[in-house]
Amino acid sequence: MKPLTILVVAMALAADVAVARDDGEEPGAGEAVADLHQVTADTGIDAMPSWTPRAVGEWLAAHSVDWYVMSEDLAHRDSTVRPLADGSIELNWRRTNMRAHERFVETTKRLFRDVGFPVVLSKAFDADTTSHQCGTVRFGDDPAQAPLDTYCRAYDHDNLYVVDGSFLPSSAALNPALTIAAQALRTGEHLKMRMRAL
């Protein structure tokens, strides 16, 4: 039996998921980016036509491996996260860079087919699956364009620093954890020098 592949494309503020496993065997090291079997099984089933019997979808999902196809979701001024009066959070997400992303997805699907995977499906993530949220409190040199300076200090509150993923304009299609940690260390050094000067 030929190997099966499901490509589940998931744009989650710079992250996409693709799925592929062969003949029901467990994937070896390096074959899967992350163990998201249940998530991708559900997503893989959702990527199939609505008339697909659930049992067929479950079988196909069980014979797949997770692959990530990532592209950058560029910063957009109207992409915001806001707390609402009722305590809930409103996410306004304006997708960007979609033409390049769709070309990348189509190329990836073609490559999977070229190496012998007969079934290739895709489905984009929606706002329920947000990954690597960045850019909600961006930093920059101009207070008119960014609320934080380059040390993540608020321009309008001298003692407020914001050092999480929100200072980054975008996550560049990569996990921003190390960049966030590096900026936190840099900001910490800045704070230490500032405190010594007092």
At 83-99, the pLDDT tens digits run: 899 999 888 888 888 89
17 touches 125 (CB < 8 A): yes
Torsion, CA 17, CA 181, CA 138, CA 93, rounded to 10:
20
Indicate the residue type of 6: I
Look at 55-59, 66-70, 172-176, 191-195 and tell me which has the smallest mean pLDDT: 66-70
Question: pLDDT-derived band of residue 36, with 50, 70 and 90 as boundaries?
Answer: very low
Q: Is the pLDDT of residue 79 over 50?
A: yes
CA distance 102 to 112: 15
At 176-196, the pLDDT tens digits run: 889 999 999 999 999 999 999
Q: Which of 63, 48, 185, 191 is nearest to 122 (CA)?
A: 48
Sketch the domain layout of the chain as residue ranges: 4-114, 132-198
86 vs 102, more confident: 86
At 137-153, the pLDDT tens digits run: 889 999 998 999 999 99
pLDDT of residue 187: 96
| Residues 94-120, mean pLDDT to the nearest whole number | 85
CA distance 17 to 10: 5
pLDDT of residue 18: 40
CA distance 99 to 105: 10
pLDDT of residue 65: 67
Look at 5-14, 119-128, 145-154 and tell me which has the smallest mean pLDDT: 5-14
Question: pLDDT-derived band of residue 120, with 50, 70 and 90 as boundaries?
Answer: confident
150 touches 168 (CB < 8 A): no
Question: pLDDT-derived band of residue 38, with 50, 70 and 90 as boundaries?
Answer: very low
Bridge partners of 80, per DSSP, are 92
The average confidence (pLDDT) of the chain is: 74
Rounded to the nearest 5°, which phi and psi values hold at 4?
Answer: -110, 150
Q: Is the pLDDT of residue 7 over 70?
A: no
CA distance 160 to 6: 46
Residue 140: count of CB within 10 angstroms of its CB: 15
68 vs 115, more confident: 115
